[in-house]
Structure 1
Amino acid sequence: MLRARKLSLAGVAVGALALTVSTSVPLAYGHGYTTAPTSRAKHCANGTVQNCGQIQWEPQSTEGPKGFPGSGPADGKLCSAGLSQFAQLDDQRGGAWPTTQLTSGATYTFRWRLTAPHSTTDFKYYITKAGWNQSAPLTRSALELAPFLTVPMNGGRPANDIAHTGRVPNRTGRHMILAVWTINDTANAFYQCSDVRF
């Protein structure tokens, strides 16, 4: 009888410990990727691009420090959000990334798929300068640091599928668009790089 009671108490203790551990793990915050123009992460997930490493299974996870361009991921690591497991996203691959065709100066609808929407500060869109170095990993000096489109959310929670319409800058040839989704109540943002051609 005494042995059965000890086993029962041990079971209660293990159950309480398991409950404590499961409730102390932080909840998952926002995650997402751009589908228009298709991001490098999404191309990898689709299998359109091979040899992508881990990002092919989690295109929604390019999460790094917020505050771009003043802070955030280091230059040369913007597409991977500074995460070494996603470093393949920073490789220009000699211009082999597929591009989305855009019309210079025209209106375009940018789209995100959010697998875990979260309280949001804003979405911002940046584009490379004319004459940027297409052979080098993306840096701040290659980008126009004033976003050409900003969509404020003021802490609101976006839908799982969200679209933002705005006018793209006048450009010719191959460029990159960096989309930044800033989370309102964490220290992070999500970074998505898309290759485009005008």
Structure 2
Amino acid sequence: MPKRAGVTALGLGLVAGATLLGTPTASSHGYTDTPISRQKLCANKTVSNCGQIQWEPQSAEGPKGFPAAGPADGRICAAGNAQFAELDDQRGGTWPATRVSSGQGYSFRWQFTANHSTTDFKYYVTKNGWDPTKPLTRAALDPQPFLTVAYNGARPPMTTVHQGAMPSGKTGRHMILAVWTVNDTAMAFYSCSDVQF
């Protein structure tokens, strides 16, 4: 009997260890799907050769404080995570783009697998004349977000929609960067969406 109990305990320990090792970190939890983000395009197989992000579109998490801090230029869409570098690859400007209208009302939607206490959501857009074939940098973005939604520590619903307006004065191909700043950690989530005005 003691031998069998030892085997059972060992088996339970291995199962517990495998569960802990195979579980994504508790900090991996959100992305935009309207306008559709690059990570969602990868997850739904609209775009191929996406690497790991196709299995965890909610995991583009990096340091908060953007634009003063946060991921380095050229690594913004992947939130600075090398394992998601495919999100920073501009693919020659060929990512599928959502058609939008300059200055028009829009419903920006996030999907969460965990809804952290939140500071705010900020939405940035690229400047007129930016180069859509080069990785995203701070210099390519308008310096101020065109939409900020404060949460003051509240938790958003698992599907969250922000009503706002697309920025005015934009034509052609652009990128929208959505940043979800978590209130009770040092992290934020980054989501890049290609759009065509």
- TM-score, length-normalised on structure 2? 0.88
Higher-Rg structure is 1
| Percentage of pairs with the same residue | 61
In the comparison of the two structures, how many residue pairs are matched?
Answer: 191
* 5+ long unaligned stretches in structure 2: none
Deviations 1:12-52 (A, max 9, x none): 8x989x99xx99x9x71351110100000000001000101
Question: Which residue of the partner structure matches residue 118 of structure 1?
Answer: 116
Question: Which residue of the partner structure matches residue 100 of structure 1?
Answer: 98
Question: Which residue of the partner structure matches residue 139 of structure 1?
Answer: 137
> Is residue 179–residue 190 contact of structure 2 (8 Å, CA) maintained in 1?
yes
> Is residue 30–residue 114 contact of structure 1 (8 Å, CA) maintained in 2?
no
> Is residue 28–residue 60 contact of structure 2 (8 Å, CA) maintained in 1?
no
Residue 165 in 1 paired to residue 163 in 2? Answer: yes
- TM-score, length-normalised on structure 1? 0.88
Residue 61 in 1 paired to residue 59 in 2? Answer: yes
CA distance in 2, matches of 1:192, 1:134: 16
Deviations 1:67-111 (A, max 9, x none): 000000000000000101100110110111000011011111100
CA distance in 2, matches of 1:45, 1:10: 40
Which of residues 80, 83, 107 is equivalent to 1:82? 80
CA distance in 1, matches of 2:26, 2:74: 27
CA distance in 2, matches of 1:148, 1:191: 16
CA distance in 1, matches of 2:111, 2:12: 37
> Is residue 123–residue 148 contact of structure 2 (8 Å, CA) maintained in 1?
yes
> Is residue 179–residue 191 contact of structure 1 (8 Å, CA) maintained in 2?
yes
RMSD: 2.4
Question: Which residue of the partner structure matches residue 156 of structure 1?
Answer: 154
CA distance in 2, matches of 1:94, 1:81: 20
CA distance in 2, matches of 1:10, 1:30: 34
CA distance in 1, matches of 2:85, 2:28: 21
The one-letter amino acid paired with 1:129 is: K
**Secondary structure class of the residue paired with 2:77:** coil
CA distance in 2, matches of 1:8, 1:54: 39
**Secondary structure class of the residue paired with 2:43:** helix
> Is residue 181–residue 189 contact of structure 1 (8 Å, CA) maintained in 2?
yes
Question: Which residue of the partner structure matches residue 178 of structure 1?
Answer: 177
Structure 1 stretches of 4+ with a deviation exceeding 6 A read 6-12
Note the C-alpha offset of 1:134. 1.4
CA distance in 2, matches of 1:188, 1:84: 16
Change (3 A) 1:7 1:131: same
The one-letter amino acid paired with 2:156 is: P
CA distance in 1, matches of 2:164, 2:157: 18
Change (3 A) 1:118 1:30: farther
**Secondary structure class of the residue paired with 1:116:** coil
